[in-house]
Each structure stands twice: as structure tokens, then as C-alpha cells.
Amino acid sequence: MKREYILDQTFERYTSKIVKRNGKGTAIVWFRNDLRVLDNEVLFKAWVDSESVLPVYCVDPRVFQASTRYFGFPKTGGLRGQFIIECLVDLKKNLMKRGLNLLIKHGKPEEIIPTLAKDFASHAVYAQKETCSEEVNVEKLVSKALRRVQLPHSTGRSTSQGSANSPTLQLVWGGTLYHLDDLPFSTNSIPDVYTQFRKSVEAKCSIRSCAKISMSLGPAPLHRGLGMSALSRVYEYFWKKDFLKIYKETRNGMLGPDYSTKFSPWLASGSLSPRFIYEEVKRYEKERLANDSTYWVLFELIWRDYFRFISVKYGNSIFHLGGPRNVERRWNQDQRLFDSWRNGCTGYPLIDANMKELSATGFMSNRGRQIVCSFLVRDMGIDWRMGAEWFETFLLDYDPCSNYGNWTYGAGVGNDPREDRYFSIPKQAQTYDPEGEYVAYWLPQLQKLPREKRNFPGKLYMEQIVPLKFGNPNGDRASAARKNSYGGRGRKTTKGYMS
Ligand SMILES: Cc1cc2nc3c(=O)[nH]c(=O)nc-3n(C[C@H](O)[C@H](O)[C@H](O)COP(=O)(O)OP(=O)(O)OC[C@H]3O[C@@H](n4cnc5c(N)ncnc54)[C@H](O)[C@@H]3O)c2cc1C
């Protein structure tokens, strides 16, 4: 009850009494990866520009039933599918609180949206602008299909786009901390090095305030809404448990709910706005304290912005084997090695535990992601896109820009030529899981071992599938090397290298 009250208060803080509508007719809000009411520019603009708003979400079979591009994994795994359903339920409740409802339709947006526009004589469709090719292609198809719709009479504001009697698609930038239009450089000149990007945006541009909307967005509410999970998590992590002040010290953890914010799934589905997080951090700094940790959450959010803007600069090359720099490197697609990685049976507890966590929960810590990525591409020498597509299937927080951006980074084919790091498993285990608590949690067979042995069990665990590129304490290096001739970059093998 208290939590509900606090969430209602949050909504109230982001409500404006002065904002006025000045449009006519019905506007459709096509929800995509912006499944929220709070700080949603798309919803805000549609509301201001119309007399009534119709919110719609399309369950697109190309997203929920298709396979990944090269390796045929499901494009959306069951756990993320379930998570998106929960986000939609939450969105629907929050819309209903403000007098709207959410229409959820199964099918392609380019078929659903124009039909609704015709039925509701809607003058404009508002949606969040995306940056990667599959999403951009859908925008083009929707826009084209809308141009074929002839509205019976003047139904709203006339706009410069499209024919006067057809609805238009209004794409709105959203979802980043810094607005695309406020960047201190053109998208073609976005710095390739993260630190340069961050220092430049921090010094030269400011973060716009959250969009505040009216408390009532339509007719009287039908039901009273319940919880708001994305906002609940912000409240819990920042205010109730007060973890923001130690985030920088805990963020490299791997076990438990609170070592990091866990905001990423809601950021990816758009249920949470990064600008809202920014404003909450500022409020916390004013009301409680400001330190390195409070800043560091923003530092990490700028990484997220960075990968989004890099996708604008480099387009589809972030999905290509050679990455944005078109790096030529030899990779293999050995199925046996890949299966051992994805199923968590490599013989390295730290890798296996992380991969088991991913398939069981749809989440993996940032530390874990870097380690398993390095192992796949450097120790196994496997085509990094196989790993990226596996993550695409399973991650609750899957986002094309952050996922492929980080994978190209980890594989050494990213836009930043300086990034070519190897994560040594023994060192990572020693530093981040010295007691073996994490590995024993996901691999219960290790629980009976002494703590210092859990990450280095030798023959007490399964055989290692490949030797490590650099050092293999406690490992059965010789036998692993005998069994497998595939390895890191540049190693000659009998089959399957790609260039
Ligand atoms: C190989 C690999 C693949 C990844 N794939 C994704 C992905 O598909 N979607 C995704 O959201 N993140 C991805 N990340 C980044 C990062 O691992 C997650 O954002 C983070 O672990 C989410 O947990 P959190 O919300 O508790 O993060 P926190 O540590 O609490 O960070 C706060 C927020 O900052 C952002 N952030 C933090 N680190 C990064 C980063 N390296 N890149 C981009 N944003 C970051 C996220 O939005 C995150 O929610 C990937 C990282 C790697 C190494």
C-alpha cells in the first residue's frame, strides 16, 4: 500500500496542470520500445496534437516468432516474451489510470496501424524513432501504408508530410539521456572512443527535462491501476534500500538482486525513461548525498546512449562480422564448442554458471557478460555473432545497439580500435568470486567443495573443453588441447574458420 502511494506521488510529480491540448481529431500512439507513460514524448506529443488518443501495441510476428539472422535462434526467447507481456500489463494499467486503454493486436504494424487509422479517421500516428535497420524498415512500411489511406474529410491538423487526406507517421526521438538534436557533433562525427564521447556531451550539452503530461489523458478511468514495476525498482534501489550511494563499489558483483540497479530490462522495453533516472539521481544527490556512486549510474547510462548514437553513425555494420571497422579476423563456427558455451558445459565454472544464469533468468551481470564474451571469442575463437545472437534470444534487456555494440567491442571489431581486451578467467574468479559463492549458486555440485576450489575444481568438475589462451591453473590443459584444436584468433584449424 505504501509503495503504491509512493508511485502515485512519483506520477504526480511528473504531472503538469498547465499543459494544454491544441489539436483536433484522434491521434494513434504506436507503442514500440517505449512502454511507459512517465516521460514519454510520443504520448505527450500525440496528446497535445489531438482531441483523443488511441494507444496501440502490435505483437509483430517478425519479432516474436522469427529467428535470428545468421544462426536461427528464436528472435525473442520465452523469458523476454514474458517480460514484455508484464511491461504491457503495467503500461495498460498506467494508461487506464489516466483514462486511456491499450489496444494489443497480433500482426504487422504496417497492416494494423493503417487499418486503425482508417477506422478511427486518425490524422496522425506517433511513434518512437528507432535506429537499426529492421525497425527502420518497419517505420518505412507503416509510413508507406498510411499514405494509401484516404480519410473521408478533414480529421485533424493538416501537416506538411503526405497527402492532405492521409494520416502521417510522426517519429519522435526518445529513450536516450541526451537528445540526438542536442549532441555537440553531427552523427557522422560522433567520437569513436567512449571517453571522448562522454566528456564532450557532459561538457557541451544538457539533459532535457522529462516530459510532463496531464493527469487525465482521456475520459474517466475505468479501473484503478496497481503496481508499476519499473518505477518500483527505482524507488526500491535508490530510496528504500539506499543502494545508490554504494553502486560504484558493488556494480561489478554477480550474485543477488542489488549489486547493480537492474534497470536494463525496463530501459530496453522503454518502460523506464533514462531522463527520469537522471532526475531521480539529482533529487537523491540533493536530498541524501552526492558521491562517485551517484554519478556512476549516469556514467553507465551514457554508455547506453553512446551505443545508440554509434548505431546511427555506423548503421548495419554493427551487425557484420568485421564490425564498424571491417576488421578481418579468422573465426570458427564449431558447433560442439558453441553448444558447450551456450549450455554451460565448458568445464570452466565461471563461464558455466553465467550461461546457466542467462538461460534460467534472462539476465547476466555486466561482469559476467564481458567474461563469457571474451571466452567465446578469444579462448574458443568462435564467430562473435553466434554469441550475440544467443544473447539476443535470451536477454530480457536485449537491445540491438547495446548488445551488438558491446559484442563488437568484446570481439575487437568495434568502432573503438583501442578496445581489445582479454578477460582471464582465473583472475576474474579470484577478484569477483573469491569464495566461489556465485559458481556454487548456479552449479550446486560445487557446493560441497572447499570455497577456494569451487572456481578451480580441476578433475572434480567436468573436463575443460578448450585450454585458456593465457594460463590455465588447475586446468587439464594438455587433454583439452588434445581434444580440441580450435582456439583463439589466428590459430589454424581443420575446419570452419570464417574471415
Ligand atoms: C557482451 C555484452 C552484451 C550486452 N548486451 C546488452 C543488451 O542487449 N542490453 C543492455 O541493456 N545492455 C547490454 N549490455 C550492457 C550491460 O551488461 C547491461 O546493461 C547491464 O549489465 C544491465 O544491468 P544493470 O541494469 O543492473 O546495470 P547497471 O550497472 O545498474 O547500469 C545502469 C544502466 O546503465 C546502462 N549500461 C551499463 N553498462 C552498459 C554497457 N556496457 N553498455 C550499454 N549500457 C550499459 C544500462 O542501461 C544499465 O541498466 C551488454 C554487455 C556486454 C558485455
Beta bridge partners of 53: 27
Sequence-separated (6 or more) residues with CB below 8 Å from residue 134:
62, 400
4: number of Cβ within 10 Å: 14
Q: Calculate how far, in angstroms, residue 264's C-alpha sits from the geometric centre of ligand 1.
A: 6
Would 320 be classed as within a structural domain?
A: no
Would 328 be classed as within a structural domain?
A: no
Does residue 125 share a domain with residue 219?
no
406, 409, 421, 432: residue to mutate for ligand 1 pocket, most atoms within 8 A of CB:
406
* Pocket lining: 42 vs ligand 1, CB cutoff 6 Å: no
**Domain termination site, one of 175, 207, 239:** 175
Q: Which residues of the chain have pLDDT under 70?
A: 1, 153-164, 218-228, 419-420, 471-499
The grid cell for 240 is 528504500
The total number of structural domains that make up the chain: 3
Closest CA to 170 of 146, 195, 200: 146
- Which atom of ligand 1 lies nearest, measured to the CA of 370? 53
Helix (H) or strand (E) holding 105: strand 103-106
- Which atom of ligand 1 lies nearest, measured to the CA of 274? 47
233, 251, 262, 264: residue to mutate for ligand 1 pocket, most atoms within 8 A of CB:
264
Closest CA to 351 of 323, 328, 382, 322: 382
Does residue 355 share a domain with residue 464?
yes
Does residue 351 share a domain with residue 203?
no
Residue nearest to atom 30 of ligand 1 (CA): 261
Closest CA to 201 of 283, 309, 290: 309
* Pocket lining: 410 vs ligand 1, CB cutoff 6 Å: yes
* Pocket lining: 398 vs ligand 1, CB cutoff 6 Å: yes
Beta bridge partners of 67: 74
Would 268 be classed as within a structural domain?
A: yes
**Domain termination site, one of 133, 148, 175:** 175
34 known ligand binder: no
Q: Calculate how far, in angstroms, residue 475's C-alpha sits from the geometric centre of ligand 1.
A: 31
Would 324 be classed as within a structural domain?
A: no
What residue has cell string 496528446? 47
Residue nearest to atom 22 of ligand 1 (CA): 264
* Pocket lining: 263 vs ligand 1, CB cutoff 6 Å: yes
Would 187 be classed as within a structural domain?
A: no
* Pocket lining: 33 vs ligand 1, CB cutoff 6 Å: no
Residue 22: predicted pLDDT: 84
Does residue 260 share a domain with residue 396?
no
- Per the CB < 8 A criterion, the answer to whether 301 and 272 are in contact is no
The grid cell for 399 is 537491445
Q: Calculate how far, in angstroms, residue 214's C-alpha sits from the geometric centre of ligand 1.
A: 32
- Which atom of ligand 1 lies nearest, measured to the CA of 387? 1
- Per the CB < 8 A criterion, the answer to whether 487 and 467 are in contact is yes
Does residue 352 share a domain with residue 456?
yes
* Pocket lining: 369 vs ligand 1, CB cutoff 6 Å: yes
75, 393, 397: residue to mutate for ligand 1 pocket, most atoms within 8 A of CB:
397
Name the residue range of residue 16's domain: 2-175
Does residue 169 share a domain with residue 227?
no
Residues belonging to the chain:
499
75, 305, 366, 408: residue to mutate for ligand 1 pocket, most atoms within 8 A of CB:
366
Would 17 be classed as within a structural domain?
A: yes
* Pocket lining: 461 vs ligand 1, CB cutoff 6 Å: no
* Pocket lining: 237 vs ligand 1, CB cutoff 6 Å: no
CA atoms within a 13 Å half-sphere pointing along the CA-CB vector of 284: 27
- Distance (Å, whole) CA 458 – CA 474: 5
Q: Calculate how far, in angstroms, residue 185's C-alpha sits from the geometric centre of ligand 1.
A: 25
Would 490 be classed as within a structural domain?
A: no
Residue 219: predicted pLDDT: 45
Residue 227: predicted pLDDT: 32
Q: Calculate how far, in angstroms, residue 248's C-alpha sits from the geometric centre of ligand 1.
A: 14
Does residue 284 share a domain with residue 235?
yes
List, for residues 69-122, the tens digit of each pLDDT value. Answer: 999 999 999 999 999 999 999 999 999 988 898 999 999 999 999 999 998 899
Helix (H) or strand (E) holding 387: helix 384-394
> pTM for the complete prediction?
0.86
Sequence-separated (6 or more) residues with CB below 8 Å from residue 228:
7, 90, 93, 94
Residue 62, classed as helix, strand or coil, is helix
* Pocket lining: 45 vs ligand 1, CB cutoff 6 Å: no
